[in-house]
Structure 1
Amino acid sequence: MLSSVARAVHDHSSSAGRRDLLPLAPQFLDTARPGFEPSARLVALCVSTALTSGEITGDERRRLAAAHQTAMHLLGAEEHPTGAARWWLRALGHRSEAFYRTFVATEHAAEAVAVAARTANDVRLKSLLKLCLAAQLKPACSS
């Protein structure tokens, strides 16, 4: 999941911005985390950044809001899933975590980075990536 955010930031950065991302590469080793929480946390972070950007269409706002609601549900902040998550969470059962992490979350994060990139410069994109890296390295909360 974190690698999809990194690819999206890389793709939307200038040539100079891409070079500035290189020193972060070693920090991505051993950052894979199982479960819904790490992926949902990254989606929520990217979507929140995109929703505060200046240039966003109505369709983008609707899709990103739905992505945020799904992420918040998976983080335990929303009681009921909305949109397509209502069916795939139930239908896929124990496989839904891999489906979310591999397909849904990566698409949501990529769109959010693309939207944010329209108004963000290389410094802001790198900051977003560093925030995502820090969020991924944060230990899971224990209950």
Structure 2
Amino acid sequence: MNGYGVVHRSDPCVMELVSRLAREPWTDRPACVHPVLSAVARAVHDHSSSAGRRELLPLAPLFLDTASPGFEPSARLVALCVSTALAGGELAGDERRRLGAAHRTALHLLGTEEHPAGSARWWLPVLGHRSEAFYRTFVATEHAAEAVAVAARTANDVRLKSLLKLCLAAQPSPSCSASAQNSGS
């Protein structure tokens, strides 16, 4: 664990509510949600006040069926979160370096940067067809969580919720939601 999500949760997390809506086991990592989007939601939750956490709960249905594969959804979320963190301005040297490398790698995966940065220069070619799952599950989730934690230093609940809503809007539209499938209508 990277430490960005190590916060005592006295309020239910929006991801836990999503797991219930999707009829999955109670978890803050529901399978129906893209892992990077889930990491962003948990980080926003962890850095929000109690009132801010309650304000996130109505967003729960929007997370259903966002678990699309491919580099693009993960890289888009990382680029958005890192851009927000870098715009905040309060970064230590190592944070600026790490987030800058994460941003350049995300842009590379989106096709706008020629070469990946940081350790991605080595693991992308070595992992081959497994690199997308590795990026989506491990690398991008860490980059997004760190970016939210950095952005939270200068952001209030409203700005954190806005970032989460931007991340939701950046996701491809689901074909149908789990709640619609289960309602029979």
Q: TM-score, normalised by structure 1?
A: 0.94
- Matching residue within 18, 22, 39 for 1:4: 39
Please tell me whether residue 45 in structure 1 is matched to residue 80 in structure 2.
yes
What is the SS of the residue equivalent to 1:55? coil
Q: Following TM superposition, by how much is the alpha carbon of 1:101 offset from its aligned partner in structure 2, in angstroms?
A: 0.3
Distance in 2 (CA, whole Å) between partners of 1:135 and 1:107 is 19
Q: How many positions carry a matched residue from both structures?
A: 139
Structure showing the higher helix proportion among its residues? 1
Higher Cα Rg: structure 1 or 2? 2
Structure 1: segments with no counterpart, 5+ residues: none
Structure 2: segments with no counterpart, 5+ residues: 1-35, 175-185
Is this contact kept in 1: 2:98–2:118, CA < 8 A?
A: no
Distance in 1 (CA, whole Å) between partners of 2:52 and 2:135 is 29
Distance in 1 (CA, whole Å) between partners of 2:89 and 2:99 is 14
Alpha-carbon RMSD across the aligned residues, in angstroms, is: 1.1
Q: Following TM superposition, by how much is the alpha carbon of 1:82 offset from its aligned partner in structure 2, in angstroms?
A: 2.0
Greater relative contact order structure (CA < 8 Å, 6+ sep): 1
Please tell me whether residue 129 in structure 1 is matched to residue 164 in structure 2.
yes
> Hey, which bits of structure 1, 4+ residues long, moved more than 2 A?
none
Please tell me whether residue 58 in structure 1 is matched to residue 93 in structure 2.
yes
User: What is the aligned partner in structure 1 of residue 113 from structure 2?
Assistant: 78
